[in-house]
Structure 1
Amino acid sequence: MTGYRVYEGTAVKATVTGTSATIGGLGACETHTYTVRAYNAQGESAAGDPVTATTTGCTGGGTLPARVLTGYWHNFVNQAAELRLSAVPDEYDLVAIAFGAATAVPGEVAFALDPGLATAVGGYTDAQFRADVQALRERGKKVVLSVGGETGRVQVASAAAATRFADSVHALMRTYGFDGVDIDLENGLNATYMAQALRSLRAQAGPGLIITMAPQTIDMQSTGMEYFKLALSIKDILTIVHTQFYNSGSMLGCDQAQAYAQGSVDFITALACLQLENGLRPDQVALGLPAGPGAAGGGIVAPSVVNRALDCLATRTNCGGFVPPRAYPDIRGVMTWSINWDASHDWSFSKTVKPHLEGMS
């Protein structure tokens, strides 16, 4: 053997005779995947297992654990259990308040406690809600305002609307103590102007700002779709993407070999792989699943299946028929719709998934 060649794709990035190599000229917060081949006068060996790493300099906000369990809290009444924010259990690391709503002014976001919810929980004032936000933060949790939802109509389609979005969300953060914003726009978004809005918000709120997203599965099918374009364009300040792996029917995964049926470990892993192989860092990718029956119209899985999907993505073990092309040990975690539905099912989701997240190396 003469030495080793380090490849990124088909390009040789380093040639060495020892067992270490330094690759320079990399930008901040970039993810790269390398393989190594031994060589001599007769040719090269087969490539070793790929190794993926991210350079330093990432500035996505918030102090969150390496593995995160996110849950949505209902600011409305439906068939799920009604809860004060103070009832959120310790299993949840990140709480998304559902939802901030549009006003008559394009781009502007408003929030107020739902009167029906306040009545359902025996009375709940704005001051009590703000105190509960602060109490969660004192427990080490983060709280973000989710903007949109299934019926949300927030539109950011101009520079002026982007400015109003940033200004109004920042004002709500200061009023209620929110740590950031979750983008859950299920009726379309403009990646260019939403990116402008989020960078403006970051300039006002500072590097501790948490930015999360909850695209539907179809929104992350290709890098040409607006949600995926948005995620990649703000990758340097983006915290986590919680894709909704439900209510979507069957879809192609990253292997493009077949359509995977929702409600299966293959669907979750093959669809998450699309994001992991197309530009997002593993620490920015989380799996969004319903907390139990009633929480979604389709794609409901047992919490144990969520744990299998985490193992498959992190270590390529416990998979179904689809096995990802590489392991993603830094996969960030899980989101569930919702904390209220979890409560309706005796906290089965959080009590099953959170210990598994904590046990992952």
Structure 2
Amino acid sequence: MKKLFLALLLVALAAPPAQAATQKRTVVYYQTQYSNGATGTYVSPKPLLDRGTGVTDVLVAAIHPNDNRIVHLNDHPPSHSRYTQMWQDLAAMQSRGVNVIGMVGGAAQGSFQRLDTQFDTYYPLLRDTIRTYKLNGVDLDVEERMSIAGIRRVIDQLKTDFGTNFIVTLSPVASALWGGGNLSGFNYEELYRSHGSKIAWFNGQFYNGWGNAGSTAHYDQIVSRRVIPVNKVVLGVLTSTANGGSGYVTMTTLKNTVTSLKTKYTNFGGVAGWEYFNSLPGGTTEPWRWAADVTAMQK
């Protein structure tokens, strides 16, 4: 009996420990805080938490260090009263484990030119905004020309100021991750080779002609280059035909693509959606449903 017990014990010790399922990223961009313009209705991100969607990261857009040396969140300083409720809602989400990340830049030009050529003037404005609103990280959406030295300097300083747990992501067009078309002016594979350990992941834009989420082909093309690991490549998609230009894929098509990707790659990086307020299938009345559906696709 003792020998049997010892044999069973040895087998148990030799077996690998059970691994909890790792949740994939469900990333939601949150730029439209008020529907129907400046005088519209406040769009709270909190249903993403309250409805149990499984959202992992909310990217608050878009932060701009402006040439008047005042940081704006879209058209107003982040301290404006129109954002008071938003910051409270986001803090409540943070307290429940959702990362709140500030998206810097985007289509509006100038933010990264300033950070590149006038770093000592404009970086402290970004740093102080991160501190004031206790952001978990920043998403660097470089859609203008910037030197690779400049983006490295920004990443290095963020890590110096906020530590190793601070999240730094980038949002290149998808083709930039396979050596194709690029809006940023620097080579992302070269950046990854030097700074990959400091970059949490890439929210690749698989739309507007820069990539396509209708199949796995373009995602596979990135992975096949063996530079940026699959767990750091997030499939960025449009959440509605009304968002951006072209390349929206239906939820049925997206589910087929995501199902194939998670089958091919056990460490598939996740899905990001631009943007929250009118996400299909719920639209403006239930925009949280997109995130719930995407989380379910990845299980």
Give TM class, smaller chain: 0.7 to 0.9
Shift of the 109–237 alpha-carbon distance from structure 1 to 2, 3 Å rule, reads farther
What residue is the counterpart of 2:56 in the other structure? 93
2 CA distance for matches of 1:218 and 1:142?
27
1 CA distance for matches of 2:230 and 2:122?
28
Q: Read off the aligned partner of 1:101 and give its amino acid letter.
A: H
Structure number, greater radius of gyration: 1
1 CA distance for matches of 2:117 and 2:208?
33
2 CA distance for matches of 1:141 and 1:158?
28
What residue is the counterpart of 1:336 in the other structure? 273
How far residue 313 of structure 1 moved from its aligned partner, in angstroms, is 2.4
TM score, norm. by length of structure 2: 0.76
Residue from 147, 155, 159 that aligns with 2:112: 155
Residue from 277, 283, 288 that aligns with 2:236: 288
**CA deviation string 1:273-315 (max 9, x = no partner):** 2332231111111100111221232111112322222232232
Query: What is the root-mean-square deviation in Å for CA atoms of aligned residues?
Result: 3.2
1 CA distance for matches of 2:265 and 2:70?
36
TM score, norm. by length of structure 1: 0.64
**CA deviation string 1:5-56 (max 9, x = no partner):** xxxxxxxxxxxxxxxxxxxxxxxxxxxxxxxxxxxxxxxxxxxxxxxxxxxx
What residue is the counterpart of 1:270 in the other structure? 217
2 CA distance for matches of 1:215 and 1:172?
23
How far residue 272 of structure 1 moved from its aligned partner, in angstroms, is 1.6
Shift of the 155–139 alpha-carbon distance from structure 1 to 2, 3 Å rule, reads same
Matches within 5 A, 1:1-361: 66-75=23-32, 82-89=42-49, 90-91=52-53, 92-104=55-67, 110-112=71-73, 114=75, 125-156=82-113, 161-164=118-121, 166-222=123-179, 226-228=186-188, 229-248=190-209, 262=212, 264-265=214-215, 269-278=216-225, 279-315=227-263, 327-342=264-279, 344=283, 346-347=286-287, 348-357=289-298, 359=299
Unaligned runs of 5+ in 2: 1-21
How far residue 82 of structure 1 moved from its aligned partner, in angstroms, is 4.9
1 CA distance for matches of 2:277 and 2:235?
18
What residue is the counterpart of 2:19 in the other structure? none
Q: Which has the higher strand share?
A: 1
How far residue 180 of structure 1 moved from its aligned partner, in angstroms, is 0.8
Q: Read off the aligned partner of 1:264 and give its amino acid letter.
A: G
Unaligned runs of 5+ in 1: 1-64, 252-261, 316-326
Contact 1:282 1:331 (C-alpha < 8 Å) held by counterparts: yes
SS in 1 for 2:198: coil
Q: Read off the aligned partner of 1:301 and give its amino acid letter.
A: V
Contact 1:184 1:213 (C-alpha < 8 Å) held by counterparts: yes
How far residue 126 of structure 1 moved from its aligned partner, in angstroms, is 4.3
Q: Read off the aligned partner of 2:110 and give its amino acid letter.
A: R
Contact 1:290 1:336 (C-alpha < 8 Å) held by counterparts: yes
Contact 1:157 1:190 (C-alpha < 8 Å) held by counterparts: no
1 CA distance for matches of 2:124 and 2:253?
41
2 CA distance for matches of 1:211 and 1:109?
22
Contact 1:109 1:169 (C-alpha < 8 Å) held by counterparts: no
Contact 2:234 2:270 (C-alpha < 8 Å) held by counterparts: yes
Identity among equivalent positions (%) equals: 18
How far residue 217 of structure 1 moved from its aligned partner, in angstroms, is 2.9
Q: Which has the higher helix share?
A: 2
Contact 1:287 1:335 (C-alpha < 8 Å) held by counterparts: yes
Q: Read off the aligned partner of 1:288 and give its amino acid letter.
A: G
| Count of equivalent residues | 263
